[in-house]
Structure formats: C-alpha cells, structure tokens
Structure 1
C-alpha cells in the first residue's frame, strides 16, 4: 500500500503552498527523513521531508503548482507499484502519513580559497546535526547528494 505525500500545513494561516522544486523524481528511492520537495508559502520557502521509505512512485503536481493544504501530491511505495490519484482529484485526501517540514537552512559564506560558490550550502538536516555533533564545519565537506547537497554519508566519510 502506497503512502500518500500531502501538502503540509506550514503555518496557522496557510491555505495553500506552491511547489518550488521536487528534489526527488518519480522512480527515485526515498528514505524516511530525506528531502522530497520544497514549498513556498506566503512567508517562506521550506524543505519537506519524507515520512516513509520506498520509491517515489507517483508525482501528481509539478513545480509552480499552487496546491491546497492536506491535498495528496504524490505517493511513496514499492518500485513499480501502481497507484490511483483519486484522492488528489477529489479535493482533500486523508493522508496515511503527513510530510513534515524541515528547519530552514542557514545562509553561510564559503571560506576564502574554496572552490564552492558563496551563498547557501545545501545540507540535509540530518547531516547538519551529525556534523555539529562531530564538530565538523559543513563548509569543508563536499556534497555527493542531488545538486551537490551534503548528506549524512558525506559527513561520515569526512570524519
């Protein structure tokens, strides 16, 4: 049975969110806690994590789509699993597992002499926490995740 990915409620007054980017694409393996997509509200842009592990078997909305809160926007299940999008077309679905937002990433400048461009460093919340526990500066770690994102395995390899 596939787990529904829903548009989360990210604020008290939020009625809908705009999908900015799908970090994971249809057919990609997904681990619980990994960043699935980014969503823009009237106040901020947040990354949303997966609440289940499996394969992203269906994406129902594209980047740029404005989606009401609690609506199903995708499914995580077994590779090749067939899903129906009836919950998405009927308005609000009843989510089996709700996606939760991750804390916003901080903006950090790269040290002088680094080949990394200045600005925001893409790092998963789990990797950021693990690096902090090990007293490792994430600016020194090279990311191997999607789009050069630093993942927990990168911190383990660096340590």
Structure 2
C-alpha cells in the first residue's frame, strides 16, 4: 500500500500552504527524513521530509499551487511496489483559491480537460496594501528575499496572502506591481 504524503500543519494558525519546489522527482528513491518539497505559509518557507522509505511514485500537486492543510500532495510506493491504477487519483486536484467563495471551490469541475484550458485573467481589484507602523509591509520571508535580490519595492506589490501579505507567488505574477499614480 502506498504511503500518502499530506501537507502538514506547520503552525497553529496554518490553514494552507504553497508548494514552492519539489526536491524529488517521480520515480526517485526516498528514505525516511529526506526532504521531499518546500512549502510556504504566511510566515516561513519550510522543508517537508518523507515519513517512510520507498519510491516517490506520484506527485499530485504541482509546484506553485496553494492547497489546504491535510491535502494529499503525493504518494510514496513501498520498496518493490508500484502504484496500481485504482490508487491513482481519478481527478486532478483543484488549485485552492482563498479568494473564491466556498461554493465555487467545492463545485469547481476538476477534469483534466478543464485544467488544460487556459484560465482567463481575473479583473484587477482595487488595490490597497496594508502597512503596519513605520511603513512595514506584510510579506513572507521568501518574498522579502526575492524582492531584495530583484530590487522590488514590496509596498508596490499586491499581496494575496492572509491580511494582504505579499507571498513569493505575488512577485512572479505579471500583474503583481501596482500601477503607480502619475497625477
């Protein structure tokens, strides 16, 4: 029987996580304690280790997708085992959108054909970056590191994280930077 790799709750307030990078590929041998992937939450980027020995047989959630805590993100086949057809997921996981109404997320079709279709750009919403005292902008540590290395001003980036915090994925978005007023 395959071992399910679930997105762990890495803090008391963590409800979701962004799969940043898979360190192992499908078919790679893994040992208990080896790092499988990195997950980013609203406070940090954390390594997630394998809970058993075997082969990473299936990656169910690709990089740069946010999923709720407890979601099965991959499967580890025990040594000498392969993933049987009935163990493979019947549907692609639906990317978690924290801004979508609960009904939309629950009723969203998760067929491979639907996920292959291009997703239309969402209309831009009114922008107001929450700031704390002294001009401090809410941002994850990874987002701060990326912004510093690329010379980006976090105050000009639309944050999609909790309370409007800037996450690493916000810096990769072509619509991430707010249009500065030139009046």
State the TM bucket, normalised to the shorter chain.
0.5 to 0.7
Contact 2:20-2:38 at 8 Å conserved across structures: yes
Structure 1 residue 50 displacement after superposition: 0.3
Q: What does residue 80 of structure 1 align with? A: 82
User: What's the counterpart of residue 11 of structure 2?
Assistant: 11
1:50–1:41 distance in 2 versus 1, CA, 3 Å: same
Aligned partner of residue 61 in structure 1, secondary structure: coil
Deviation at 1:87, TM superposition (A): 9.4
1:101-120 to structure 2, matched below 5 A, reads: none
Instruction: Give CA deviations for 1:53-94 in whole Å, capped at 9, x if unaligned.
Output: 000000011110001000100000145322322598599xxx
Tell which structure's C-alpha radius of gyration is larger.
2
Q: How much is the aligned-residue C-alpha RMSD, in angstroms?
A: 2.1
Q: Is the 8 A contact 1:36 1:47 kept in 2?
A: yes
Query: Which structure would you say has the larger RCO, counting Cα contacts within 8 Å and 6 or more residues apart?
Result: 1
Structure 1 residues 18 and 89: alpha-carbon distance in aligned structure 2, compared to 1, 3 A threshold: closer
Q: Which moved more, 1:41-50 or 1:82-91?
A: 82-91
Structure 2 residues without counterparts, runs of 5 or longer:
95-105, 107-183
Match of 2:65 in 1: 65
Q: Which runs of 4+ in 1 moved over 6 A?
A: none
Q: Is the 8 A contact 1:72 1:87 kept in 2?
A: no
User: In structure 2, what is the Cα distance between the partners aligned to 1:25 and 1:73?
Assistant: 13
CA distances 1:81-139 after superposition (whole Å, capped 9, x unpaired)? 22322598599xxxxxxxxxxxxxxxxxxxxxxxxxxxxxxxxxxxxxxxxxxxxxxxx
Q: TM-score, normalised by structure 1?
A: 0.53
Instruction: Report the TM-score, using the length of structure 2 for normalisation.
Output: 0.46
Paired positions, count: 91
